[in-house]
Structure 1
């Protein structure tokens, strides 16, 4: 008989966990033999085991005591399942135990997976592992050998009953070296090396300084190593004296310790400047702003070469401003987890809009700067009906959530999924203070030691309870709260988060999730339980988890259907079927481009902005999970027009009645989001200078990208001169710049706009936002000409701009095949209608991740010059660039194309049109490929 074989590795194409969860609930019986089982891996299999139990599927599991890696907690949990028999192979010094085998019995065949993976979160999802899957008839010799060996192991192992587990636990507790020490590495200051985030930040800081800039900001989530990064940069920069300023004294001592650990044998002294300690003469002074603001003038203005401001979002306050205005260091570094400031000042401006790095949650997970999380979306009990409640009606939501049956349901799930580590340290996020008090009281009455903390409590009381939760010997396990832990407050050892209220903001969701992601020796992952009700805004959970600020309906649906496969590392996101269906249905019904939806998104963001009207685009850079303001621009041509409309703001309307100002806003806003940075860097320079030449422009652009070609700079000058606008555009668009005799100038009209300080602020805001967003999305890479980035979004007209096309750019539309010299641009719609079931064009399609089938325009034949250029493109030096979109339109809005790289013709047939098989130069990543081909 034919034996089916395949290699299973953890990659973007799949992982061992997917294979196991599917096989457990489809087989008739399963048999595992693994060297060790950690709770981090077992938790990911719990739902499959529960489903198997319901279906009457039985299993046997053998693990071992080898190296004491198996966790007793995992053994206890397996024993909770009536359908699984558990045994342990007890090893000794002579005999090791290395098996990693997963056997699934079906009606007349067996599936056997043998390889390198034990049951841990990393082995199942993210480690480099090789596992071979073999499917064979039950009478094959191979299967008989496997089962015989399994039976032998089973008979050689002992039953893992309560008595055995108790003795094993006692043995582990007596070990002088806890079994987590295999994760520890001997560290010497000479050998502590920067992580990926720190390296990127240092490279960018060096580049920023090389162009004469003296200030920069680093934005990175709490716990990602910003202080270490600053110490590494100081080590490289070798300043004579350093001043490190913080907002809170507890951070100060940790920062000083970090520098002491990294900067050794340099002959520098480190000292504290606080209320109690006045070591002003130290080479590196670590000071609180409270102390420094009283004595800064005792130092010379150039006393310090390098100034570091931690929690830099506070630096716009008066106490900081007086200090920062006084000192004149060679370089100033700001560091913050969120560039948000309650007094509404702009922290970006303070650092000359130089952002060396931005690391948000998704980046932090990818760079392993935070621990992975296991998210379980659980459908709330039937008795909770939120379908007809306004999301802002907190009193009514509270009333409906205060149900004893729901408390029991939460506890049942909390105990089923459990948590990492010995003591549970849990934050429960509630709808209101009343709801938090209710949850704490109900948990206490059931024997779970809990308290409620809110903004009403003093800082001292909060600190006291946080310390109690951190303390392994304290009985306190739960803090129920509303908003005080959203950001800025840290309990590093938190190992479980309960989402107990309807999600009405992706920003708040991400902040609450982030409270448990800090690395800590007591945990390897965070358990997140989200109780998902039938509220009308449930789909916001999907937006938050998707990890992308820029999404559409289709990408969200695919993310949900694939279990958010784009989330990096060992992080695991799982929603039950009811929640999935509910969210998919809501997404189908919602129009993300409607004014109603955009207004709701805007006002929710305004709430997060402490109720301030977010007048500036850079306000949207403050929070992970903020909406994309370009959607508001698309709706009303400029962001200010959108704000004026939804706020009914008469002052804004008066400003916008100035035709030149409104024209300048439209001209600049229409270029967002930037597809290349050249134009906006030139504009930034001209906001403070009268003219710019090509050489100067190159110098400025190189502050942001590694390389730039002169022709692209010249083309940018021509574009700003409106050389490639058609007659309609020239009549309707304000001319901001004039290009003459090798120099680019501002026009008189634009100069008149910039003279007005209020107008100028809004103009600067668009430029800052455009540059910052470009840097965030594309870093400082140079993409050549055409200036395309793989798997990014483009409209047809963008190809003209990015290939330095020197004719009218609006001519780039319509035919599906456009050309600029030897560059051919193929624009392809996979489906002609939004409904996937109708009007499918089967001729243009992905064959697989490496090949694409495309039909030329109907008029093309094989003997024409254009036809020959296509079918013999490689020989004739023609580059075929492919741009693909799934649908032409979604919710009445034209969809962008995705650039999938260059392709080369390998087969062709037919005439008018020619059907061409193209081999792609870059394999399509599974995430992108799935989004194109998956039917949801």
Structure 2
């Protein structure tokens, strides 16, 4: 008979975990034999095993003591399932290894056998390079009989994992751990073994580049736990300053930073010292000081004492104590480091570092780069007794009242015990809705035997630090701290292994902050367990926005993410929403219009609350937080951001400011360019804020501060664009002119000069737009040169962007048509996969992905094979024609918003047929990533 076979690998399209989870719940019986099981992998299979038990599906599992890699916690957990029989193949009693990795599923008429390289660990199931072959065959097949016979033989040779066995095995593991720990410490002491990770290398390269252009300040923005201190030490090792000052606001951080530098620079003949309330090592080459001490002692130093000064937690640098120190010292280079570049008291931390951001790494990039540990998120539908459907979730008193239910506490504990946690001791933070809620949870947990405390903003720093130390202490019984907001950010508890989300999510920002508390790497943990108790309130869908992590989102992309289990999340991170939560979130997404004024106002006011209740008047405010709204959506609604704020805030002062036609004209002209797809124009305008004019050579030099290369023709094209050479008659009539171009020199107009000099507030708002445009471009495009035309793979573009980015020297608004536009040898193919009439059902089947490598496209209806254009498309390679493909799923998903296209890259015609239109088969130069391919082709 024929045997069905296929290869299972871990990729964007699927992984072994997905196959096992589905098969466990669909088979009649299952039989596993794996060398290793650890809890990081087992936790991901707990729900499928539980569901199998409810259906009466039974299983047998064999694992081994080989290399002592299987942990006792996993064995104990498996033993709690009545539908599972567990045995262990003991290898220390015999001179053989145990390497089996086989998963056998029995069905009514056939067996499915998966044999390959994967054990039950999070990496093996999700991210490692693994090959597993799935074989499906009838019961009577000889291969199946042989597999079952071998399995039964192993089962007979293995030992029942009873309590006596588990006790003896745990004692063995403990003795082994003591040896491993001492080896780990020995290796950690060797500074020469430490090398920079990708994030640190990128930061150092960018810092070098900035210094090469004469810049003396820079800022690094990176999520907590991503290694900013090591990055700064690597840069210091590279620069070799004679005297260094490292400033922090907490003494505990100071000592850790000094230890890091000493470990990385062990043989550099450098002296390291502390400057605190108790120590004054002022003669040390590299001095580590608290800001409190230095702000009282800085006059004892010469202003030029230090070559290099580092401000850790740089968002504090806007405070008066920091400002005194910053203004006094005159180092050769100043570096700021922060996880949250928040604005304080209307001071902008970016300005303090000359708006030079050497690097920005937020949560999802940190996960991708493995700078933080993965998290296992379980979205659990809250108990029926908690009804939030008719309450405003900002009504803290009422929400608190409804959450204070004993039955809910039992439900939370039941799930906490079921999913477990990494490492031996539970170290948990529970995020609550109010002080009263936190106190209630701590009391109820204590009543049930879980030692817990409540902390909030009214508690002293000493009390907080005391509880944190207790939580981190392996021998202390304290296992849970319930809190309100104070641990959202800026608190470092590396060993946290569990986060409980016990409050309704009403902000993606807060959600990400709370999630981030447990993601710092720690030698004793390999993942973070996150339990989110999802109620029936009206904003449940915000969880999906926070988890999805994409800068761009629409209904379709979120729904695809949910239906694919957030397959776009990198590495070993696992996101699992139970069925009820999924349905609830999908229903809310269908009902919501992300482009409506109602939704945008809610998003704005939620962000305002996080901005200390102050109206966020500057676009740069939105760069403070991971998960912040996209302010360009607000601009699209009102032509300018200030216009949107004036409207929703009913702010008469702003309205008066906007009555100035020239000021509003400058705002509209700059705002219309956002988000930037080319940085040149804004870099030139940034220079013109403080200079009357700029030459082509000066402009090129300024642009090279931001990107690795720029061609002369593109600089000239930017001058011509700023001169409005390619505007149509309507644009020329309605748009204020900022610059004039003559003989290779660009000069700011009198109107532009007048606006930025007549009023300080106006100038700040204009600077804000320019800085925001540049920062956002850096974040999205990095410092790479993309050539001409300047397209980045898988970035979003509108049709008119192709005119700008291909240096078209015709009126840009004329660059639109029926799916095919051309600028000399550059052909741009713009494709809608679904017809406009009915986005739910109708698909234009003639334009479609054939697979990740090939695309089928039909030319405009009037194109003949014999025409010049037809030949250029059919024989594009021979005729030197570049075919650029841009694709979108739908032209419009929500009322009032035209969807952008995604740039898929260049392709070449390999086959064609038909006439008027010609149907061509295009081979793409770049295989479409599985995540994007799924989003284009998945039906939800």
TM over 0.5: yes
Contact 2:431 2:485 in 1 (8 A): yes
Q: Deviations over 1:320-349 (max 9, x none)?
A: 111111111110000011111432310000
Deviation at 1:181, TM superposition (A): 7.9
1:118 to 1:178, Cα distance in 2 relative to 1, 3 A? farther
Structure 1: distance between partners of 2:264 and 2:736: 55
Structure 2: distance between partners of 1:192 and 1:430: 39
Contact 2:262 2:272 in 1 (8 A): yes
1:817 is the counterpart of 2:820: yes
Deviation at 1:178, TM superposition (A): 5.7
Q: Deviations over 1:774-794 (max 9, x none)?
A: 101111111000100111100
1:248 to 240, 250, 254: 250
Structure 2: distance between partners of 1:613 and 1:836: 38
Q: Deviations over 1:592-633 (max 9, x none)?
A: 000000000000000001111100000000001100000000
Show the counterpart of 1:53: 53
1:165 is the counterpart of 2:169: no
1:909 is the counterpart of 2:917: no
Contact 1:172 1:178 in 2 (8 A): no
Structure 1: distance between partners of 2:435 and 2:344: 22
Secondary structure at the residue paired with 1:294?
A: helix
Secondary structure at the residue paired with 1:483?
A: coil
Show the counterpart of 1:565: 567
Alignment of 1:821-900 (within 5 A): 821-833=824-836, 835-892=838-895, 893-900=897-904
Show the counterpart of 2:769: 766
Alignment of 1:650-669 (within 5 A): 650-669=652-671
Deviation at 1:904, TM superposition (A): 1.1
1:23 is the counterpart of 2:29: no
Alignment of 1:443-592 (within 5 A): 443-592=445-594
Show the counterpart of 1:332: 334
Structure 2: distance between partners of 1:711 and 1:410: 63
Q: Deviations over 1:102-158 (max 9, x none)?
A: 111122222211111111111111112221222222222222221111111011001
Alignment of 1:371-770 (within 5 A): 371-755=373-757, 756-770=759-773
Show the counterpart of 1:918: 922
Secondary structure at the residue paired with 1:923?
A: coil
Deviation at 1:170, TM superposition (A): 2.5
Q: Deviations over 1:300-336 (max 9, x none)?
A: 1111111111010011111111111111111000001
* Aligned length, in residue pairs: 936
Deviation at 1:16, TM superposition (A): 1.0
1:884 to 1:371, Cα distance in 2 relative to 1, 3 A? same
1:181 to 1:196, Cα distance in 2 relative to 1, 3 A? farther
Question: Which deviates further from its counterpart, 2-11 or 511-520?
Answer: 2-11
Structure 2: distance between partners of 1:930 and 1:239: 50
Deviation at 1:835, TM superposition (A): 4.2
Structure 2: distance between partners of 1:64 and 1:205: 50
1:701 to 1:176, Cα distance in 2 relative to 1, 3 A? closer
Show the counterpart of 2:77: 77
1:793 is the counterpart of 2:780: no
Secondary structure at the residue paired with 2:31?
A: strand
Secondary structure at the residue paired with 1:831?
A: coil
1:316 to 1:702, Cα distance in 2 relative to 1, 3 A? same
Show the counterpart of 1:140: 141
Structure 2: distance between partners of 1:355 and 1:784: 23
Q: Deviations over 1:753-792 (max 9, x none)?
A: 0102111101110010000001011111110001001111
Deviation at 1:184, TM superposition (A): 7.7
Q: Deviations over 1:223-260 (max 9, x none)?
A: 11111111100000011111111111111111111111
Contact 1:834 1:890 in 2 (8 A): no
1:270 to 1:338, Cα distance in 2 relative to 1, 3 A? same
Structure 1: distance between partners of 2:564 and 2:529: 20
Contact 1:857 1:913 in 2 (8 A): yes
Structure 2: distance between partners of 1:833 and 1:413: 45
Contact 1:57 1:83 in 2 (8 A): yes
Secondary structure at the residue paired with 2:254?
A: helix
**Over the residues paired in the alignment, what is the CA RMSD in angstroms?**
1.3
Q: Deviations over 1:72-117 (max 9, x none)?
A: 1100111111111100000025111111111111222222111111
Q: Deviations over 1:852-889 (max 9, x none)?
A: 11111110111111111111111111111111100101
Question: Which deviates further from its counterpart, 267-276 or 764-773?
Answer: 267-276
Structure 2: distance between partners of 1:273 and 1:432: 39
Contact 1:694 1:713 in 2 (8 A): yes
Structure 1: distance between partners of 2:174 and 2:145: 40
Structure 2: distance between partners of 1:179 and 1:749: 71
Secondary structure at the residue paired with 1:887?
A: coil
Structure 1: distance between partners of 2:569 and 2:542: 17
Q: Deviations over 1:628-659 (max 9, x none)?
A: 00000000000000000001111111110000
Show the counterpart of 1:14: 14
Deviation at 1:712, TM superposition (A): 0.6
Deviation at 1:183, TM superposition (A): 7.6
Structure 2: distance between partners of 1:463 and 1:500: 23
Secondary structure at the residue paired with 2:125?
A: helix
Show the counterpart of 1:934: 938
1:228 to 230, 237, 244: 230
Structure 2: distance between partners of 1:123 and 1:834: 45
Q: Deviations over 1:482-516 (max 9, x none)?
A: 11111111221111111111000101101111111
Alignment of 1:29-68 (within 5 A): 29-68=29-68
Secondary structure at the residue paired with 2:45?
A: helix
Show the counterpart of 1:309: 311
Structure 2: distance between partners of 1:182 and 1:197: 27
1:803 is the counterpart of 2:806: yes
Contact 1:698 1:713 in 2 (8 A): yes
Alignment of 1:197-236 (within 5 A): 197-236=199-238
Secondary structure at the residue paired with 1:315?
A: helix
Structure 1: distance between partners of 2:823 and 2:186: 56
Deviation at 1:537, TM superposition (A): 0.2
Show the counterpart of 1:154: 155
Secondary structure at the residue paired with 1:573?
A: strand
Contact 2:756 2:762 in 1 (8 A): yes
Secondary structure at the residue paired with 1:103?
A: strand
Gaps of 5+ in 2: none
Structure 2: distance between partners of 1:214 and 1:66: 56
Gaps of 5+ in 1: none
Secondary structure at the residue paired with 1:858?
A: coil
Structure 1: distance between partners of 2:380 and 2:177: 40
Q: Deviations over 1:893-917 (max 9, x none)?
A: 1000001011111111111111111
Structure 2: distance between partners of 1:182 and 1:757: 61
Q: Deviations over 1:565-613 (max 9, x none)?
A: 1111101000001101100110110000000000000000000011111
Question: Which deviates further from its counterpart, 337-346 or 370-379?
Answer: 337-346
1:568 to 1:404, Cα distance in 2 relative to 1, 3 A? same
Deviation at 1:839, TM superposition (A): 3.0
Deviation at 1:837, TM superposition (A): 3.5
Contact 2:318 2:344 in 1 (8 A): no
Question: Which deviates further from its counterpart, 564-573 or 838-847?
Answer: 838-847
